[in-house]
Amino acid sequence: MTAIVFAPDGQALPDSIRAWLERHRLPTAKVATADDLMAATLRSRPRLAIIDARTHPVAGLKGCQRLKADSFTGIVPALVLVRNDSTAFAAAFDVHADEVIRDGTDVAEVSLRAEALLRRSDRDTYVHPSTRLPGGIEIETEIARRLEGDELFAACYADLDHFKEYNDRYSYYDGDRVIRILSKILHDVIKGVVAERGFVGHIGGDDFLFVIPLGAVQEVCSEIVSVFDAIVPYQYSEQDRRAGYYFGKDRRGQLHKVPLMTVSIGVVSNERRRFTHPSQVSELATEMKSYAKSLPGSVFTIDRRGDLANDEGAPRASSPEAAIEVEEQ
């Protein structure tokens, strides 16, 4: 990845900034206009945008303002360089700069500020904006860490059933609240049972993946299913809650009964398998989740199949139905 440098006057970056970029092996691409800044950022999605507003503060700050106002480029962290006075310093933050460095700042402080900026940017990029849980990149990193640690763990893929119909009947606002409720249940149950040994990630929408020690699967998943089934009916109107269903339209426009939402969890582990990459865990967890969703009610299904090498010559099951445990509430 690169760093885009917006310098309206074309002047060189301070030595402290150049040294920091070199240390991180971040190549730079220079632009001289706000239009070029936007075009380059949209085209390449850089790691960082450095905006030099020391000698041409109006042009520099307007460029920063445009960058942060656009929904596609606003996620790029903006580091603004200003002259050494409080007015310029405040003006840069007024246009939503993520970090501001005054001319003449100590080299060590420049490095610390830039490092902190990238950490904040990674944190904001890798978490889901609604639930504030880690996203796909962090999920993959966590699974890889567990694989490298050679510990027995379970990866559990949780998904809501009949969530789309709920959104259609109520609203996306209500649907977002249900997603936050599920995220809170996952977090609280896992934290309560396994403390820091658990991890909860938000893939997106109503899809979550959590990683826990293998021995905690039954307790954690049973509690999640139980708590969810106790809470979710109260996200419906009294009429729908009492009936236990409502009428919705399918893709053909035909009315059909829609049950209240349930949660399905597909569980895989490295107890009988030898995984070499997080994608293998993810693929199998998705398979198990899909199988769980084919069953009625809130359930969690545990894959008991194994690799030939790990199952001492036992034949490998060809489908989830051939070797699973299904738990229903």
pLDDT in tens, 138-161: 899 999 999 998 789 999 999 999
pLDDT in tens, 73-83: 888 999 999 99
pLDDT in tens, 242-252: 999 999 877 77
Which DSSP category does 271 fall into? S
Domains plus CATH for the chain? Answer: 3-126 (3.40.50.2300), 136-328 (3.30.70.270)
Say what percent of the chain tops pLDDT 70.
92
b/e for 41-80, b at 16 or more Cβ within 10 A?
Answer: beeeebbbbbbbbbeebebbbbbbbbbbeeeebeebbbbb
Q: What is the mean pLDDT of the chain?
A: 90
- Residue 185 vs residue 312, higher pLDDT: 185
d(CA 143, CA 92): 40
pLDDT attached to residue 311: 47
Q: What are phi and psi of 148, to 5 degrees?
A: -70, -30
- Residue 323: pLDDT above 60? no
pLDDT in tens, 252-279: 778 889 999 999 999 999 999 999 999 9
pLDDT attached to residue 315: 33
Across the range 188-201, mean pLDDT stands at: 93
Task: Specify the pTM.
Answer: 0.72
Is residue 225 within 8 A of residue 327, CB to CB? The reply is yes
CA 15 from chain centre, in angstroms, equals 36
CA 135 from chain centre, in angstroms, equals 2
